[in-house]
Structure formats: C-alpha cells, structure tokens
Homo-oligomer: A and B are copies of this chain.
C-alpha cells in the first residue's frame, strides 16, 4: 500500500504548479510519468485517448498556441511532447481475471486565483504554494493524488482482482467541459460502475455515499455599443459598459424560486475603453445554477430578459454565447450500500457515513454518470469529508491532508468489494 508521506509529497508538488482547464500539460505529463512506471497499468492519453472522438468540435477547446508555449517552457519534458496538444488521461489497470469495468474519476485543473501569501496559510508557510498566477483552490491537487494512490494500489495488487479499473484523470472540470468530453469517450458507455469523487465535502470527517449537485449553465455575454468622446459628444455614444453594469445588478436580483435553490454569479468582466471614451464593448461570464433543471431553466429565461432589457435600455446590442453546462444526476441507490460497506471496511465509524447530501456546487461528472447509467451501468458520486480552511475557491483554501490516505483506502475498498462480488 501507498504511504501517507508519498501522497502528501505528490499533493504538494501538484499544488505548486496549478494549471487551469485545457492547459494541464505539465500536470498530465507528471501523472503519466509516474503511472508509466507501474506494473499492469496501460495509459490512454493524447492521440490514443481522443482518436475517433464523436464530436470533434468539442476538442477545439485546447489551444495549439498554449501547447506550443508549454513545450517551450518545459523543453526537455518528453511526456509533454507525447501529449499531442491534449490534456487528461485514463489509467487502465486489468485484474488477473475477467470481470466488471469500474471507473473512478478525479479532476486535475486549477483556478485563476492568486494564492494567499499570508503567514497563516499553510501552503505558503510550508513553502508549497503556487508558483504561478493560478491556484488549486478546489482540492483537485488532492484528487490527482488520490487517483495516483488508487492506481498504484490497484496496479500492484492486480493479481488479486477481477475486472478492469479505469482511473480517469479528467481535465477542465472548473470549466464544466472536461466531463462532457469524457462522457463521449467510447470507454464511458462500457463502464459497469462509475465513481466520481470529491474531497473536503462535507467539511467534517464524514463520507457521503451519494452526493447530488446543482444543474449549471454558463454563458459569455457581450454588449456592443458605440464609442464617442466622453467630454465632447457623450450623447453620441451607446454605453456598453453601463448596459453591462445594469444587467449585472439585475442578474444578481433574479427572484428566488419555490421549486428549489439557485445560484447566480458573474465573472471575467472587461470593458477596455479609455476613460475619456464611451465604452463600445463590455463582456462578462454568467454562471447560473439550480437545484433542479426546472430552476436552472427559469434562471436562464429571467437572465435573457434582463440582458435583452438592459440592451434596450442603453440602445446597445448583445451576443449571448453558451459556454458550458452541467446536468443533475441521480445516484444509483444500488451503490449506496457498497460505498457504505467500503467505508466501514476502511475503518470509518458507522455514524460518520451519510447516504445522501445535496451540494450547491456543480459537477460535470454528472455527464459521465448519466452516460454510464443510460448505458445500463451504475454510478454514484462520493464525497469524502475533511476539514478545509479558507473556503473553496478562496485564495486561502487548504484542506487537511489526512483525507488523502483515507480517500485511497475507501476507493480501493470499493474496487475490492465489486471485484469480489463479480
């Protein structure tokens, strides 16, 4: 079995170099490099992973120039060269005997947040804080680590197991795009069991056997007005910035819905005009979440009204581009008892194991879950609780590293129970 020290050192290595969605070249390379040394472990990455992909336009999210820069930055990195411009990978570990196909999903991308350099922030204090402008502020560094630990444990013990295990290192979860891409891989349809996982949720040391997530819809909004001299002829301008500000205060004010909770947020706002020029262009990203698909659709309809109304108010035009979404998914009740049993086997106390919980975040693993379930498989989303600090998506985010070892144990137990039952 893997050692806690090893897990912690991995986590800290990944924490130091976070990469945002579709740019995880270094991260993918490091995962490949490590896994490649394991016995019984086959890697699918780059061309091998994405060839014959049914919806090629989804693959356009990776940018050739960014890949080129990465290759320049890491000139001697043989693994980056092999990636062929794509991030993410799947480790395939075959047991000695035939058996079910069991998938686990961990996500690998960071967030565009500058990490705290406060003395009280442990990654900074201990010297493993981010060395770039991004940050692992959602524990994906921990997920990678658990994926590696699980892969190692399964690979080294492949002789004892039945079935095939797929450790899916998914890119671009924060963008809600990597999950959709992975859901289209031919492997996904063939999975008999599928377990996405998140650590730090709940924030106590409890395990949730079946976490549910909000539906999510993301859009890019662009307002297009007309510039003019802000002093000399302000009346000739059509103020795109003002329309956008008005839309934003309106969007946050969309009414609550009695059918379930909702979330609204705006990010990445820019209007580049000089201050003596009326703004002719302003854009932002809009993120809408609903406890149910109905609530999410309601938010979308209200948002369209608000954006179109704000355009009308200032006589500007707009473009609304769909960016990404996430579905809700229903956990397979058949798996709850398996996860419960695995936790128990892993030494978790009974009353620390929870069947269900609802998380107001969103997850694109739901696309994979729904694909597995629609193809006749079973899926449940596992939450491995642990104390966190600073709050998710905050620049002071951190988590108790004890969860890493526990995470590997629980997932490995799940694999073993399924393997034994086969």
**Measuring CB to CB, which residues of chain A are less than 8 angstroms from any residue of chain B?**
111-113, 137-138, 174, 201, 214, 216, 218, 226-237, 239, 241-242, 244-246, 248-250, 252-253, 255-259, 261-280, 282, 284-287, 289, 298, 305-306, 308-315, 359-362, 391-395
Specify which chain B residues have a CB less than 8 angstroms from the CB of A395 in the assembled complex: 227, 280
CB distance from A384 to the nearest CB of B (A): 15
Bound-complex Cα distance A215 to B78 (A): 61
Asked if A267 and B271 make an inter-chain contact with CB atoms under 8 angstroms apart, the answer reads: yes
CB distance from A418 to the nearest CB of B (A): 30
Asked if A235 and B259 make an inter-chain contact with CB atoms under 8 angstroms apart, the answer reads: yes
Bound-complex Cα distance A105 to B284 (A): 41
Contacts A/B (CB < 8 Å), 24 sampled:
A227-B393, A228-B394, A230-B393, A232-B360, A232-B393, A233-B391, A234-B256, A235-B259, A235-B298, A237-B255, A241-B248, A241-B266, A242-B248, A242-B266, A246-B246, A249-B250, A265-B277, A266-B279, A267-B275, A268-B275, A269-B279, A269-B282, A308-B312, A309-B314
Specify which chain B residues have a CB less than 8 angstroms from the CB of A267 in the assembled complex: 241, 271-277, 279
Bound-complex Cα distance A229 to B255 (A): 12
Known: A242-B266, A250-B313, A309-B312. 7 other contacts (CB 8 A): A230-B263, A235-B256, A241-B269, A256-B264, A267-B279, A306-B313, A308-B313
Specify which chain B residues have a CB less than 8 angstroms from the CB of A306 in the assembled complex: 313-314
Specify which chain B residues have a CB less than 8 angstroms from the CB of A261 in the assembled complex: 256, 261
Specify which chain B residues have a CB less than 8 angstroms from the CB of A233 in the assembled complex: 258, 391-392
Asked if A262 and B252 make an inter-chain contact with CB atoms under 8 angstroms apart, the answer reads: no
Bound-complex Cα distance A315 to B289 (A): 21
Bound-complex Cα distance A359 to B230 (A): 12
CB distance from A279 to the nearest CB of B (A): 7
Bound-complex Cα distance A237 to B137 (A): 14
Asked if B252 and A235 make an inter-chain contact with CB atoms under 8 angstroms apart, the answer reads: no
CB distance from A147 to the nearest CB of B (A): 22
Specify which chain B residues have a CB less than 8 angstroms from the CB of A235 in the assembled complex: 255-259, 298
Asked if A313 and B314 make an inter-chain contact with CB atoms under 8 angstroms apart, the answer reads: no
Contacting residue for A262 out of B174, B256, B282, B391, CB 8 A: B256
Q: Which of A237, A285, A286, A360 has the most CB of B within 10 A?
A: A360
Asked if A391 and B276 make an inter-chain contact with CB atoms under 8 angstroms apart, the answer reads: no
Bound-complex Cα distance A101 to B106 (A): 60
Specify which chain B residues have a CB less than 8 angstroms from the CB of A285 in the assembled complex: 274-275
CB distance from A296 to the nearest CB of B (A): 12
Asked whether A255 and B239 contact (CB < 8 A) given A227-B393, A229-B361, the answer is yes
Asked if A231 and B263 make an inter-chain contact with CB atoms under 8 angstroms apart, the answer reads: yes
Asked if A232 and B392 make an inter-chain contact with CB atoms under 8 angstroms apart, the answer reads: yes
Contacting residue for A230 out of B112, B265, B271, B276, CB 8 A: B265
Specify which chain B residues have a CB less than 8 angstroms from the CB of A241 in the assembled complex: 248, 266-267, 269
Bound-complex Cα distance A285 to B237 (A): 18
Specify which chain B residues have a CB less than 8 angstroms from the CB of A269 in the assembled complex: 241, 269-271, 279, 282
Bound-complex Cα distance A310 to B138 (A): 30
Specify which chain B residues have a CB less than 8 angstroms from the CB of A361 in the assembled complex: 229, 231-232, 276
Bound-complex Cα distance A311 to B244 (A): 17
Asked if A305 and B309 make an inter-chain contact with CB atoms under 8 angstroms apart, the answer reads: no
Bound-complex Cα distance A273 to B285 (A): 10
Bound-complex Cα distance A265 to B289 (A): 21
Specify which chain B residues have a CB less than 8 angstroms from the CB of A231 in the assembled complex: 214, 216, 263, 265, 287, 289, 359-362
Specify which chain B residues have a CB less than 8 angstroms from the CB of A393 in the assembled complex: 227-230, 232, 274, 276-278
Asked if A391 and B275 make an inter-chain contact with CB atoms under 8 angstroms apart, the answer reads: no
Specify which chain B residues have a CB less than 8 angstroms from the CB of A311 in the assembled complex: 309
Bound-complex Cα distance A143 to B154 (A): 65
